Amino acid sequence: EAGVAQSPRYKIIEKRQSVAFWCNPISGHATLYWYQQILGQGPKLLIQFQNNGVVDDSQLPKDRFSAERLKGVDSTLKIQPAKLEDSAVYLCASSFDRNNNYGYTFGSGTRLTVV
Amino acid sequence: GQQLNQSPQSMFIQEGEDVSMNCTSSSIFNTWLWYKQDPGEGPVLLIALYKAGELTSNGRLTAQFGITRKDSFLNISASIPSDVGIYFCAGRRSNFGNEKLTFGTGTRLTIIP
């Protein structure tokens, strides 16, 4: 099966600019996650979708970050305006359903550099 | 947000050596997972553990789910060059597959020629 697709792979922007990332999960996977991975740290969950509904966005900085999954398939994550500390790899992951108790599948990520 | 504590932070070993690393938490998890991340890629699942005390192997990798449910261990036997990377533990509070994972701080493995 095809993996989790993310684009772009790299993005460099100036602080206060806007940026958007795209994710296409594995076909049929109901749950989609966005994780932020700062250099030297483990991934940290930003937001979790179940189909097109938000399950957990408790760690999403909502003053500048937003995410949507309108049709329950693809998702976009937006940062507006970006800060220097947003420099990180943004990982998208997907899983089938709650009864599939395996670790989910990650995409290759988008590396964001804010200058 | 919480991150699990992994040790050591980094390891420098020679090819053929065995490797041990561990992961600890202040709270209980009911599922433990071990991932490996190569440069420029997302983490890839290595081993999943579902019961306290469980010992599971995947080739040269062996992982254990601690009896207290607050820790887990990963061993790699006879290391080879492709084992180089960052290893992350991850915990899940429930047995439901779509609940979020909490990740560890990572152990970077380097093989010295």
Return all residues near A58 (Cβ < 8 A) that are at least 6 apart: none
Percent of chain B scoring above 90 in pLDDT: 84
Query: B104 in contact with A at a CB cutoff of 8 Å?
Result: yes
Mutate: best of A104, A105, A112, partner B, most B CBs <10 A: A104
Weakest mean pLDDT among A37-41, A69-73, B68-72: A69-73
| pLDDT, tens digit, 9 for 90 and up, residues B73-89 | 999 999 999 999 999 99
B1 pLDDT higher than 80: no
User: In whole angstroms, what is the distance from residue A89 CA to residue A51 CA?
Assistant: 24
Contacts B35 to A, Cβ<8 Å = 103
Answer whether A40 sits within 8 Å of B90, measured CB to CB. no
Cα dist. B104→A80, B22, B49, B99, B113 in Å? 28, 10, 15, 16, 28
pLDDT band at B101 (very low <50, low <70, confident <90, very high): confident
For chain A, the average pLDDT equals 92
A98 pLDDT higher than 70: no
Using left for φ > 0, alpha for ψ between -120 and 50, and beta otherwise, residue A72 falls in left
Residue B21 in contact with residue B13, Cβ under 8 Å?
Answer: no
Residues 85-114 of A with CB under 8 A from B: 91, 93, 95-109, 111
Percent of chain A scoring above 70 in pLDDT: 93
User: In whole angstroms, what is the distance from residue B13 CA to residue B31 CA?
Assistant: 29
Query: B42 in contact with A at a CB cutoff of 8 Å?
Result: yes
Return all residues near A56 (Cβ < 8 A) that are at least 6 apart: A45, A47, A48, B100
Query: B78 in contact with A at a CB cutoff of 8 Å?
Result: no
Number of H helices, E strands in chain B: 0, 11
Answer whether B97 sits within 8 Å of A97, measured CB to CB. yes
| pLDDT, tens digit, 9 for 90 and up, residues B19-46 | 999 999 999 999 999 999 999 999 999 9
For chain B, the average pLDDT equals 92
Residue A93 in contact with residue A102, Cβ under 8 Å?
Answer: no
User: In whole angstroms, what is the distance from residue B49 CA to residue A101 CA?
Assistant: 10
Which residues, listed in sequence order, are joined to residue B61 by a DSSP beta bridge? B58, B76
